[in-house]
Amino acid sequence: MDTGYVHGYTEPETRRLGDQADTLAELLHAGTAYPAGSRVLEAGCGVGAQTAHLVTRSPGAHLTAVDVSEASLRQARARVGGVDFRRADLFDLDGEYDHVFVCFVLEHLLEPEKALAHLKTLLRPGGTITVVEGDHGSAFFHPRSEHAQAAIDCLVRLQADAGGDALIGRRLHPLLTGAGFAGVTVEPRTVYADRSRPELVAGFTRDTFTAMVEGVGETAVARGLATADGWARGIADLRRTTGPDGTFHYAFFKATGRNP
Amino acid sequence: MDTGYVHGYTEPETRRLGDQADTLAELLHAGTAYPAGSRVLEAGCGVGAQTAHLVTRSPGAHLTAVDVSEASLRQARARVGGVDFRRADLFDLDGEYDHVFVCFVLEHLLEPEKALAHLKTLLRPGGTITVVEGDHGSAFFHPRSEHAQAAIDCLVRLQADAGGDALIGRRLHPLLTGAGFAGVTVEPRTVYADRSRPELVAGFTRDTFTAMVEGVGETAVARGLATADGWARGIADLRRTTGPDGTFHYAFFKATGRNP
C-alpha cells in the first residue's frame, strides 16, 4: 500500500523517529511549555516521538494527540501515558484548544496553509500554535559530495511526488501569516555536528539524517531517480561526513503564532 | 588590475563591508572580548570594518591590524583610531601575540590551512585564535528560484577560480585541527530574515548578501558564467526574497582554538 507518507511505517523508521526526537528534544522543544490545566492538541502525533517530550515539559497540561494512522497510534499509546490519543484526519478535527502543536506534519501535506487555517478554527481567541519543520535545503556538509547531494535531492523529489515539501521550513512565516495567524515569529534551530560533538555526529548525522535518506533508497532506485551504484555512493559519502574530518549542518524551523 | 580578491576594492564595496559589519556585529562578535593589555592581532583587516567592533568590545587590548592592501589600510586608518595598522602579507607576519582574530580572510586564500599554521607560530603557548567565515552553501530562501541560485553559484565559482572557497565555513573544524590548534570548537552563527525582522531584511538580505552577489555580475557575464538576462533575473529573484512573503537563511561559522 502506498500511504503517501514518504518515510513509511517500518520498524527501523519507528526507531529512527524515537532516536531523532531524543537527540533533538532540547533543540526543538526549548521554549515550549504549556500551563497546568491548559488544553493542548498535538495534530499529527505519529508514533508519539514528540508527544513524550510534550508530556515531560508540560506535565499539568491536558494533552490530546491525534493521528490518521491507527498503527502509529498503537505505538504512541504504548510509548506515552496520560495522553488522550484519538484517530482522526487533521481536517476532520473539532473541539476547542488553548494551544496547538504540530511537528514534522506540514511537510507531508498537499495543502499546508489550508491545514493551518483549519487548526486555527480549533483555537480559542488568543490561543497559540507552534509548528516545527525541517528544510532539507539546509543540509550541507564536509567532505562535499555530489553523490550525497543527489541522494538528498531524491528524498526531496519523492516527498514532492507524494504531495509534500521537504523544503518547507523556509516557508513557515508566509504559511502561518497566510493562514491568518497574528504575531508570527520563526526561529531557525540549527544542528551542527563535528568531531567535537560526537553525540550529534552519531545521534543526528548518522542515526537521524543519513538513516532518513537511506530509508527511501529502494523507492528512489525503483522509480529510476538513482542508480543502485549512485545511491550506494551517496549514502557512503553521507556516512563519510561522520568521520574525524567531517562536519554536518542542518536547520529546523520553529514557528509560533496566535489566533487573533 | 585583477587582484584576485573576488569582491574588488570599489567604493560601494567598502560601504557594503561597513553595512555588513554593523548589521552582523552582535551576531559575529558576541563572545569575543580580549583582556586589557593583551596583544591582539587582526590578520587581514581590510578596510577596518571588523576592526571597529574589536576596538569597541576590547577597549583595553593592544590591537595590531594587518592587511596586504595599502589602499584598504588607508580607509581602515580613517575609520578606526587607537590601532596599530601595518601593511604585510599574512605569511610574512612575525611577532608574538596573545590572541589572533581572522574574519572573512581564509575564504580568499589558496592555502588556508597553511595560513592558519603560520598564524599559530605567532601565538604564545595557550594563546587563542578566533576565525569567522561564511558559507554560501548555507544560503536558501523563499520564494525559491533557480536563477537566484545560479547567480550565487557564479560567485562561488568566481571565488574558486581566484583560488578561494566561498564554502569554507563547513571546513573550519578540520582546517584548525589540521593546522595544529587544540580545543577547537565551531559554532554556526545564523542569520534568518523574514518580514518580522525588517532590519535584517534590509541590512542583510538586501544590503549585504544580494549586494555582494550583485557586485560580481559584470565579471560573471564577461567570463560567460551567466547571460546578462539570466543574471538580471537572478538578482531580481534575490530581491524578491525581501518582499512581504520572502525569507532568507544564511550561516556564518565562528571557530576558536588554542595554541597548545
* pLDDT(B19) > 90: no
CB within 8 Å: B142 and A185: no
Task: Identify any residues that bridge with A97 across adjacent strands, giving them in sequence order.
Answer: A123
**Which chain A residues are within 8 Å of B186, Cβ to Cβ?**
192, 194, 196, 247
Look at residue A231 and tell me if it is in a domain.
yes
User: Torsion over CA of A132, A133, A137 and A140, rounded to 10 degrees?
Assistant: 60
Task: Please indicate if any CB of chain B lies within 8 Å of the CB of A95.
Answer: no
Look at residue B5 and tell me if it is in a domain.
no
Q: What are B239-244's contacts with CB under 8 Å, separation 24+?
A: B239/B206, B239/B210, B240/B143, B240/B145, B241/B141, B241/B142, B241/B143, B241/B148, B241/B205, B242/B193, B242/B201, B242/B202, B242/B205, B242/B206, B242/B210, B244/B195
Look at residue A3 and tell me if it is in a domain.
no
pLDDT at A2: 41
Cis-peptide, bond into residue A188, ω within 30° of zero:
no
How far is B208 from B192, CA to CA, in rounded Å?
Answer: 13
pLDDT at A3: 46
Look at residue B77 and tell me if it is in a domain.
yes
Full DSSP string of B181-216: -EEEEEEEEEEEE-TT-HHHIIIIIIIIIIHHHHTT
CB within 8 Å: A192 and B194: no
Average pLDDT, chain B: 95
Which single residue is written with the C-alpha cell 499509546? A77
Residue A77 gets which letter from DSSP? H
Output the nine-digit C-alpha cell for B84. Answer: 596599530
Chain B residue with minimal CA distance to A249? B170
A54 CA: distance to closest CA in chain B (Å): 26
pLDDT (tens digit per residue) in B164-190:
999 999 999 999 999 999 999 999 999
Residue A124 parent element (H or E): strand A123-133
- Segments forming the whole domain that contains residue B209: 11-258
CB within 8 Å: A188 and B249: yes
Look at residue A6 and tell me if it is in a domain.
no
pLDDT (tens digit per residue) in A169-207:
999 999 999 999 999 999 999 999 999 999 999 999 999
Of B135, B140, B177, the CB nearest to A137: B140
pLDDT (tens digit per residue) in B70-124:
999 999 999 999 999 999 999 999 999 999 999 999 999 999 999 999 999 999 9
Look at residue B3 and tell me if it is in a domain.
no
ipTM of the complex: 0.93
CB within 8 Å: A196 and B173: yes
CB within 8 Å: A188 and B190: yes
The percent of residues above 70 in pLDDT, for chain B, comes to 97
Average pLDDT, chain A: 95
- Angle at which helix B146-161 crosses helix B228-240, to 10 degrees, equals 110
Span A75-98, average pLDDT: 96
Task: Identify any residues that bridge with B97 across adjacent strands, giving them in sequence order.
Answer: B123
Residue A128 parent element (H or E): strand A123-133
Q: Is the separation of the CB atoms in B119 and B90 below 8 Å?
A: yes
- Angle at which helix A228-240 crosses helix A146-161, to 10 degrees, equals 110
Q: What is the CATH number of the domain that holds A61?
A: 3.40.50.150
Overall domain count for chain B: 1
Look at residue A2 and tell me if it is in a domain.
no
Span A122-135, average pLDDT: 98
**What radius of gyration do chain B's Cα atoms show?**
18
Task: Please indicate if any CB of chain B lies within 8 Å of the CB of A245.
Answer: yes
* pLDDT(A219) > 90: yes
Global model pTM greater than 0.80:
yes
pLDDT (tens digit per residue) in B230-252:
999 999 999 999 999 999 999 99
Look at residue B2 and tell me if it is in a domain.
no
The percent of residues above 90 in pLDDT, for chain A, comes to 91
Phi, psi values for residue A88, rounded to 5°: -165, 155
